[in-house]
Amino acid sequence: MKRYAPQIALIAVLAVSLGISMMSSQLDAYYLDIALNVGINIILAVSLNLVNGHTGQFSLGHAAFMAVGAYGASIFTLEAADQLIPMLGGPSTFATGVAFLIALLIGGLCAAFCGWLVGMPSLRLRGDYLAIVTLGFNEIVRVILQNTSGDGPFGGPLGLKGIPAHTSFFWVFAIAALCVYGVASMVNSTYGRGFLAVRDDEIAAGSMGINTTRYKVTAFVTGSFFAGLAGGLYAHLRTTISPEGFNFLKSFDIVVIVILGGMGSTAGVVLAAIVLTVLNEFLRDFEQYRMIVFSLLLIVMMIVRPQGLLPSLPFLKRKKA
Amino acid sequence: MEQFLQQLLNGLFQGSIYALIALGYTMVYGVLRFINFAHGDVFMLGAFTALGLHKAFGPALASMPWPVSLILILLASMAICGALGIIIELLAYRPLRNRPRLNVLITAIGVSLFIEYTAQLFFGATQRPFPELIPRTPVASTGGLTISVAQVIVLATTITLLIGLRIVVMKTRMGLAMRALSLNPTASTLMGVNNSVVISFTFGLGSALAAAGGILYASLYPSIEPFMGIQPGLKAFVAAVLGGIGNIPGAALGGLIIGITETLVKGYGQHFGIPSGYSEAVAFVILILILVFKPSGILGKTEREKV
């Protein structure tokens, strides 16, 4: 039984989230909304952790991939879902569900493609270039979206509105569970040792015959895919999206979660996503101090406890340089 | 043709400011091998320091002719921001010496966010008008070209600072130590260079140049806010990479190229189907192109990583 524990946990989370989703109308809308935010942030943080934590690269543009996913999924839902639903046997829960799943996947794949496009040139180089390229890519995406025409499919600077609210508890937590499961089993597999090897010492990994660029690109594309899914979920939760919502400050938010949770520790990052999202919600009155405190935390953490609040397992831990 | 020359000139002024900021990135990268994200925020603090000084000593400064008050404000702000740069290095980066580069990078992001949001808390998020330190009147309009006094002063100041920097790096003992440190930190210690002092000096010098850049930038675009440093900072970084990071003349060259390209896209892009709004993204497209074709930059040397 113990061998299948992760799979059982995955199925259990899926079942529980379906159950909660069915009775979501009886739950308090405010707390439900916070819970959904938590789920989306878990997806974002765990997927970024694959790049920044496990593979030791540093992406600062996760919000850009989220934006690509959000726009991809929303445009599909707004433009094509009406034609698709009759083909699936008319408006039913099943048909809308399938259409939403397709929209999410399209968003995720668009984001993954962008990830490949950005990752290919920059991942051949050392880590800090990726930081600046992804930051730049974030700006490129925002500028392009802002300069689209207001009545075109992208909606210009005001963005898109009237996106149907398809995102439910089930969708968010099913995808979050799949993301956590996917990333964890990827990293813990034989193949996945390559990610950790690249992080620990790129030159040594390369000389052991590991194709470091390929590992880095794989991690980056997978991370982008999940960021795209999170973007699609976000768009269908908020029902409006605008280019400004995906600026680099959003990317920093995700980076802060990953760093405080402990880079390379999936459990730590999930915990940090929960704590920071809830904390953000309750500290709304202290909005102007929030980022000051977070940035100070970031600096102090790097000096005092660079491995994060909940570091990864000891045998995976990086030895002192 | 005249319009083209005008655009080229505008690009030159814009680019010379990017060059000033890019120098700080390149120098810090040269000695410490990391991207100082907070550099763009020192640029912003430079503009705010000048604003504060102008408010505090307004009557005294008003009695002087504008070039004197400009030089006083410029030098005072550069000194204050230089000191600030040294303090930042001392508090945030020094404890991380010899730690993995990623940790230093994250700290730099933390410092950057800290400066931005603290500035927002103190100065407010709204745009503030920047005092007219340099008259914005046009100085010459020959042959259809218009150049303002501010633009001339910007260019002259940049050139002066560049020459000054060149002298410091090439002719002084401190400059020799900086070059030695960037070549090989261990060997320079063995030769009696006090690395910590040199690093502090480099941070101070880079921050002072960023502050000068901030004041000049605010003189051309006279409204300032706590997040104004992010965009020019990023573009200046791209300029440093374009010229070859760690290479001082390269940073100046990269700054000019970015400034001119940006202005040309803004002015002529629509003829080729590129909306002028895209000029904001030009620098980043250039960045991706350099990383594909020549990651070491125009003047940079290819470095092999040794074990």
Are the beta carbons of B117 and A136 separated by less than 8 Å? no
- State yes or no: pLDDT of B271 exceeds 90: no
Residues of A in contact with B107 (CB under 8 A): 298-299, 302-303
Closest listed residue to residue A132, CA positions, set B306, B239, B114, B209: B239
Say how many residues make up chain B: 307
DSSP A55: S
Q: How many CB atoms lie within 10 A of CB A32?
A: 17
B:3-22 residues touching chain A, CB 8 A cutoff: none
C-alpha dist (Å) from residue B151 to B10, B15, B66, B145: 8, 11, 15, 13
pLDDT for A127: 63
CB A72 within 8 A of CB A107: yes
Angle at which helices B39-56 and B66-88 cross, to 10°: 140
Distances in whole angstroms, Cα of residue B8 to Cα of each of A319, B137, B141, B259, B260? 53, 20, 15, 9, 6
Distance (Å) from the alpha carbon of A167 to chain B's nearest alpha carbon: 32
Own/partner pairs, B182-190, CB within 8 angstroms, 24+ separation: B182/B30, B182/B31, B182/B246
Which of B154, B146, B151, B199 is CA-nearest to residue B177? Answer: B199
Q: Do B288 and A136 touch (CB under 8 A)?
A: yes
Of A16-20, A316-320, B159-163, which one has max mean pLDDT? B159-163
Q: Report the candidate in A42, A300, A306, A310 with the shortest Cα–Cα distance to residue B103.
A: A306
**Under an 8 A CB cutoff, do B102 and A56 touch?**
yes
Nearest by CB to A302, which of B107, B114, B280? B107
| B118 touches A at CB < 8 Å | yes
Given a contact cutoff of 8 angstroms between Cβ atoms, the answer to whether A219 and A7 are in contact is: no
Q: Is A227 in contact with A47 (CB distance < 8 Å)? A: yes
Nearest CB to B288; choose among A56, A133, A306: A133
Distance CA A236, CA A247 (A): 19
Min Cα separation A180/chain B (Å): 24
Q: d(Cα A140, Cα B278) in Å, to the nearest integer?
A: 8
Q: Which residue of B has its CA nearest to A119?
A: B288
Please list every residue in chain B whose beta carbon sits closer than 8 Å to the beta carbon of residue A124.
Answer: 295
Cα separation, A119 vs A16, in Å, equals: 36
Minimal CA–CA distance to B40: which of B300, B232, B259, B293? B232
B196 touches chain A (CB under 8 A): no
Q: What's the rounded mean pLDDT across residues A177-182?
A: 92
Q: How far apart are CA A236 and CA A231, in angstroms?
A: 9
| B245 interfaces chain A, CB cutoff of 8 Å | no
B124 near A CB under 8 A: no
Chain A: give the shortest CA distance to residue B282, in Å. 8
Backbone torsion region of residue A89, taken as left when φ is above 0, otherwise alpha when ψ lies between -120 and 50, otherwise beta: left
How far does A87 lie from chain B, in Å, by closest CA? 39
Mean of the per-residue pLDDT values of chain A: 86
pLDDT of residue B305: 60
In 3D, which of A31, A9, A49 has the Cα closest to residue A195?
A49
Cβ–Cβ of B288/A291 closer than 8 Å? no
Give the DSSP H or E segment for A297: helix A287-304
pLDDT at A73 over 70: yes
The string of DSSP codes covering B113-179 is: HHHHHHHHHHH-SS-EEPP-SS--SEEE-GGG--EEHHHHHHHHHHHHHHHHHHHHHHHSHHHHHHH
Q: Are A160 and A154 in contact (CB under 8 A)?
A: yes
Residue of B nearest to A297 (CA): B110
Whether complex ipTM tops 0.85: no
Q: What distance in Å separates residue B64's CA from the closest CA in chain A?
A: 40
> Is residue A317 predicted with pLDDT exceeding 50?
no
In chain A, % of residues over pLDDT 70: 95
How far apart are alpha carbons B105 and A59 in whole angstroms?
11
Q: For residue A48, what pLDDT band results from cuts at 50, 70 and 90?
A: very high
- What pLDDT, in 10s, does the model give residues A100-141? 999 999 999 999 999 999 888 888 776 677 888 888 899 889
Residue type, position A91, single letter = P
Residues near B58 by Cβ (< 8 Å), separated by ≥ 6? none
**How confident is the model over B194-246, as pLDDT tens digits?**
989 999 999 999 999 999 999 999 988 888 999 898 888 989 989 998 988 88
A140 → closest Cβ in B92, B106, B285: B285
Which SS3 state, helix, strand or coil, does residue B223 take?
strand
Output B51 or B141, whichever has higher pLDDT: B51
Tell me if A118 and B114 make a contact (CB, 8 A cut-off). no
**With an 8 Å Cβ cutoff, are B114 and A296 in contact?**
yes
Pairing type for strands B223-224 and B147-148 reads: unpaired
pLDDT exceeds 70 at position A313: no
What does DSSP assign to residue B306? Answer: P
A262-288: pLDDT as tens digits: 888 888 899 999 999 998 888 878 877
Tell me the chain B residues in contact with residue A56 when contact means C-beta distances shorter than 8 Å: 102
Q: Residue B307 — very low, low, confident or very high, per pLDDT cuts 50/70/90?
A: low
CB burial class (10 A; 0-12, 13-18, 19+) of residue B98? exposed
Question: Distance (Å) from the C-alpha of residue B33 to the closest C-alpha of chain A?
Answer: 10
For range A235-258, the mean pLDDT = 90
Sort out which chain B residues have CB atoms less than 8 A from A303's CB and list them.
92, 95-96, 107
The structural domains of chain A, with segments of one domain joined by +, span 38-247
Q: A199, exposed or middle or buried, with CB in 10 Å at 0-12, 13-18, 19+?
A: buried
Q: Do A252 and B34 touch (CB under 8 A)?
A: no
Residue with tokens 């405010």: A30
Please indicate whether, in this complex, the C-beta atoms of B105 and A131 are within 8 angstroms of each other: yes
How far B47 CA lies from chain A's nearest CA (Å)? Answer: 21
CB contact under 8 A, A291 and B113: yes
Alpha-helical segments (H) within A123-247 = 127-146, 169-188, 193-200, 202-207, 212-238
Provide the percentage of residues in chain A whose pLDDT is more than 90.
37
Phi-psi region of A156 (alpha: psi -120 to 50; beta: other; left: phi over 0): left
Within 8 A of A125 by CB-CB distance, chain B residues are 291, 295
Contact B50, B210 (CB under 8 A): no
Q: How close A22 gets to chain B, by Cα (Å)?
A: 41
Which amino acid is residue A57, in one-letter code?
A: Q
At residue B76, the pLDDT reads 95
